[in-house]
Amino acid sequence: MQTTRIIATVANVWRQPENIAIDTLALTNTGLQPWLAQLTDADTVTLEQDNRIVTQALFNDVFLVERFVNGWAYGYVLDQTDARHPQGYPGWVWAAQLSTVPLPVLTGPTVTIRWGFTPLLRLDGRTLLTLSLGTELPVISSKDHRYYTVQTPLGTGKIAKRATQFTFKTANLTRGAILVRLGEEFLDLRYLWGGVSAYGFDCSGFVYSLHRSLGIRLPRDAQDQIEQGGAIDLADAQPGDLCFFAHDHGHGAIHHVALYAGDGWLLHAPTPGKHVTYLQLASTYLRDELVVVKRNW
């Protein structure tokens, strides 16, 4: 295995190393907005039906490469656990989105981006890249009152300290309530199959990313996430708990996870073609498919 790091704002991790014309814009390092802008809702449905994207990796995430083939790298996203693959979440990444340059090992603190997006700056103040929610970087120095100096696979940079803080007051909130409040900032964001970034989420990517932003590590997929955390009776559920749903009236395969938002409401990324939204559990078919409520916060 070769250890590499993601140097794109967000790198899609593909099921197969294909360069479909509609996806060419997804292979750049500077962000996914141009690609997403030309995807129709029908295209986003096709992403799921064909399972073209299996997950995403954020800037500076470790990607363990097993082999390179024709400009692509097959390997594993180290920080996204998957029960079937102990190395991490498997798939193909466009090799130009990877850095093979070893980084010094820093033993100090790391910081996590808690805004949807924020610029990564060069030391002279010019923008190097845009970072997404959940991006984690080692801190070299925190002496500047406005910026952290950080280590990145593109060299030393800096990020605004305020971008590592929530945009809302947290003093009177539980960690679960913080998860919900953070999730609200992505209301109406279009669902993206495989998404774990502020460009778009799938259902498990949504709860994975929110928890990651609080320093809580969940597995990547709902069928693995259900194995983690403590079980809670629905009557005792609090904001930030996770509700898991299965086919066949709760007896089949896990197919969905949502964030409990309080008073019988869910906050979730529903299905392709839809957007992050609230849903009242009692008014939907999901009420008959609820398997368990879990708490990780």
Predicted confidence band of residue 171 (pLDDT cuts 50, 70, 90):
very high
Mean pLDDT, all residues of the chain: 95
The answer to whether position 151 is within a domain reads yes
The percent of residues in the chain predicted with pLDDT above 90, rounded, is 90
Among 13-22, 154-163, 173-182, 219-228, the minimum mean pLDDT is found in: 13-22
Do 159 and 90 reside in the same domain of the chain? Answer: no
In tens, the pLDDT along 194-204 reads: 999 999 999 99
Instruction: Name residue 231's beta-bridge partners.
Output: 294
- The larger pLDDT score, comparing residue 104 to residue 252, is at 252
Structure tokens that stand for 285 in this block: 């078919």
Predicted confidence band of residue 176 (pLDDT cuts 50, 70, 90):
very high
Predicted confidence band of residue 182 (pLDDT cuts 50, 70, 90):
very high
The answer to whether position 128 is within a domain reads yes
In tens, the pLDDT along 76-109 reads: 999 998 888 999 999 999 999 999 998 888 888 9
Do 180 and 291 reside in the same domain of the chain? Answer: yes
pLDDT at 122: 96
The answer to whether position 104 is within a domain reads no
The percent of residues in the chain predicted with pLDDT above 70, rounded, is 99
Do 67 and 159 reside in the same domain of the chain? Answer: no
pLDDT at 105: 83
pLDDT at 263: 95
The answer to whether position 235 is within a domain reads yes
Residue 275 domain boundaries = 175-295
- 59-77: average pLDDT: 97
275 is catalytic: no
- 269-280: average pLDDT: 95
Q: Which of 85, 247, 255, 268 is catalytic?
A: 268
Do 203 and 150 reside in the same domain of the chain? Answer: no
At which residue do the structure tokens 């696979």 appear?
Answer: 153
In tens, the pLDDT along 142-162 reads: 999 999 999 999 999 999 999
| Residue 21 predicted with pLDDT over 80 | no
CATH code at position 180:
3.90.1720.10
| Number of structural domains in the chain | 3
Phi and psi torsions of 95, nearest 5°: -60, -25
Do 234 and 214 reside in the same domain of the chain? Answer: yes
The answer to whether position 170 is within a domain reads no
- Domain boundary pick from 45, 78, 99: 99
256 is catalytic: yes
203 is catalytic: yes
Among 38-42, 104-108, 150-154, 212-216, the minimum mean pLDDT is found in: 104-108
The answer to whether position 150 is within a domain reads yes
| Residue 59 predicted with pLDDT over 80 | yes
Do 90 and 195 reside in the same domain of the chain? Answer: no
pLDDT at 19: 64
The answer to whether position 261 is within a domain reads yes
Q: Which of 85, 203, 243, 255 is catalytic?
A: 203
- Domain boundary pick from 99, 127, 146: 99
| Residue 20 predicted with pLDDT over 90 | no
pLDDT at 132: 98
Q: Which of 145, 247, 251, 256 is catalytic?
A: 256
Do 204 and 185 reside in the same domain of the chain? Answer: yes
| Residue 33 predicted with pLDDT over 80 | yes
CATH code at position 151:
2.30.30.40
